[in-house]
Amino acid sequence: MLAIETPLIVILLGPPGAGKGTHAAPLSQHLGVPHISTGDLFREHLRNKTPLGNVARSFIDAGQLVPDHLVLEMLADRVRQSDCARGYILDGFPRTVDQAEALDKQIAEQSTVIAINFDIPDRYLVERIVSRQACKQCGQLYNTQFAPPAQSGICDHCAGSLYQRDDDKEEIILKRLEVYHTQTKPVIEYYSQKQGMLHQINARGTKTQVFQDVLKACEKTQVMA
């Protein structure tokens, strides 16, 4: 008999600074499916000054969400590419209940979906984010306080230069956290109502512990699927 595998979609939920981006990269390697960060996709549009980038810029710089229809169109385009056929990891999407519903109805049909919530109190987030840096060349994340590169300002992996995101300034972070609580928190509730789909992990553990928990959540679902 032919075994037909449905694509696996792993959704990483949690506030900005919870560690979704940090763990998405090794998880992508482990599962052999791409990591799709809507924030990264938008930053690419900003860099390339595309029409979408020009519209999205004002929302992103203000710490607000880009309107749902723009995000959905961008994501639908991305997941149509052939590397997503076996599944993918979503980081930064869905960020509203409407986005979650659209994912169910328009994008994730006939897929196995698992949502992993990175649970962490707000008080740890601002200090994590203000000291965050990313490599311009390969996207690797660093934290000048908690996970610094060997040489300040230079990527350990590719020697690219490190930069701080424009929206990682304290006053914009506070706005992003507020937006998270009002618009994105309800997404956790949305997945908690779907049997067996939501996995809670403690995002305050060490990097190794958190990654183990992420893998455990994925394994549970793959066994069930």
Where in the sequence numbering do the catalytic residues fall? 20, 95, 132, 165, 176
Kindly state the number of chain residues that form the binding site for ligand ADP, as judged by CB under 6 A: 18
173 binds Zn ion (CB under 5 A): no
Among 38, 117, 133, 140, binds ligand ADP (CB under 6 A): 38
Long-range pairs of 213-222 with CB within 8 A, sequence gap ≥ 24: 214/23, 214/27, 214/116, 215/27, 215/30, 217/114, 217/116, 218/8, 218/10, 218/27, 218/31, 218/114, 218/116, 221/8, 221/112, 221/114, 221/196, 222/8, 222/112
Our finding on whether 140 is near Zn ion (CB under 5 A) is: yes
CA distance 72 to 12: 17
* Residue (138 or 159) nearer to ligand ADP, CB: 138
158 binds Zn ion (CB under 5 A): yes
Q: Of the ranges 35-43, 101-109, 141-149, 155-163, which one interacts with ligand ADP (CB under 6 A)?
A: 35-43
Q: How far is the CB of 171 from Zn ion (least distance, A)?
A: 28
Among 124, 160, 197, 215, binds Zn ion (CB under 5 A): 160
Looking at the Cβ atoms of 38 and 140, the one nearer to ligand ADP is 38
Q: What residues does 13 pair with on adjacent strands?
A: 117
**Is residue 81 involved in binding Zn ion (CB under 5 A)?**
no
Stretch that binds Zn ion, among 12-20, 38-46, 149-157, 215-223 (CB under 5 A): 149-157
Of residues 176, 187, 201, 221, which one binds ligand ADP by CB under 6 A? 176
| Contact between 53 and Zn ion per CB under 5 A | no
Q: Is 59 in the site for ligand ADP (CB under 6 A)?
A: yes
Give the binding site for ligand ADP (CB under 6 A): 16, 37-39, 42, 59-60, 63-66, 71, 92-93, 95, 99, 167, 176
Q: Which residues bind Zn ion (CB under 5 A)?
A: 135, 137-138, 140, 155, 157-158, 160
